[in-house]
Amino acid sequence: MRVSVIAVAALALGLTACGSGADSGKGGGTDDTLVVGATAVPAGEVLTYVRDHLAAKAGLKLEIKEFTDYVLPNTALQEGELDANLYQNQPYLDDFNKSKGTDLVSVVKPYLPPMGVYSHKVKKVTELADGATVAVPNDVTNEGRALKLLAAGGVIGLKAGAGTDASPADVTSNPRHLKFRELEAAQLPRSLDDVDAAVINNNYAQDAGLSPTGDAILLESAKDNPYANLLAVKRGHEDDPRVKKLAKLLVSPEVRTFIQDKYHGSVLPATGG
């Protein structure tokens, strides 16, 4: 009987502790540290600069957790394992909320990582042969983004009004009879030896040692580009003082200079809105 009483008491204490942590809204942390999820490049590097050079002066404790895919940072944020994340754009976040039932919102948009077309076989997209295979991301928003980039390069045409969720079904003109191979975004750099070209997200390109400004045979323009990366939080946490401090630092002159000096146009500072 004595063992049972102790066990019940311990269980009650454990539940109380878990409840306290869940209510804190601190991503499972035990202090005022802001836990932020990110892909390694450029988000992780930008956040590391903020942590190492700016956070202490601003009174912010920052912990960075790196991810290698585009799904887990959002599910971890929704479930309270993170306080914020930095890696995605607004069209992707909107689609994720709709398809996964999450409730995540944008706080600030500090930079644009332009998507590019890469190839080991041609130097220009206009050199793609008839029937060439082009690998594209297999998630809705990044595939639409890839197709819009190819359309901007003049190798395909998309139907009028095709938006950020454009798919191969929206291709109205394909004079080179390109074939599209849909792959996980993280796998695209490794596909370059097997396809004629691949449309690769900036972070995965840089992770693979590709230079967007030096190696891409076609690169997105920053003009009217809706794909700036954003700092996201769970709805209701936008006014968390720690989040507001980080948001301010991410669009500071110091971070803007860091981005310009480190990436030389491969990542572009955004307006922050």
pLDDT at 16: 31
The Cα-based distances of 189 to 50, 116, 208, 209, 232 in angstroms read 28, 11, 6, 9, 26
Does residue 214 sit in the same domain as residue 248?
no
Does residue 32 sit in the same domain as residue 98?
yes
Of 199, 219, 239, the one marking the end of a domain is 219
Residue 98 lies in a domain: yes
pLDDT at 270: 84
Does residue 40 sit in the same domain as residue 127?
no
User: Which letter does DSSP use for residue 38 in this model?
Assistant: E
pLDDT at 20: 30
Which two tokens mark 121?
């076989």
139: CATH: 3.40.190.10
Does residue 235 sit in the same domain as residue 103?
yes
Residue 15 lies in a domain: no
pLDDT at 204: 96
Structural domain boundaries enclosing 83: 21-114+226-272
pTM for the structure as a whole: 0.81
Residue 59 lies in a domain: yes
Host H or E run for residue 224: none
Residue 165 lies in a domain: yes
Residue 194 lies in a domain: yes
Cβ burial 149-183 (10 Å sphere, 16+ → b, else e): bbbebebbebeeebebebeeebbeeeebebebeeb
As a whole number of angstroms, the distance between CA 203 and CA 41 comes to 5
Count up the domains in the chain and report the number. 2
Does residue 125 sit in the same domain as residue 195?
yes
Q: Find out whether the peptide bond into 241 is cis, omega within 30 degrees of 0.
A: no
Does residue 30 sit in the same domain as residue 81?
yes
What is the phi/psi pair of residue 120, to 5°? Answer: -95, 0
Local confidence pLDDT in tens for the 273 residues of the chain: 333 333 333 333 333 333 333 333 445 444 799 999 999 999 999 999 999 999 999 999 999 999 999 999 999 999 999 999 999 999 999 999 999 999 999 999 999 999 999 999 999 999 999 999 999 999 999 999 999 999 999 999 999 999 889 999 999 999 999 999 999 999 999 999 999 999 999 999 999 999 999 999 999 988 889 999 999 999 999 999 999 999 999 999 999 999 999 999 999 998 666
Nearest residue to 233 via CA among 243, 223, 225: 243
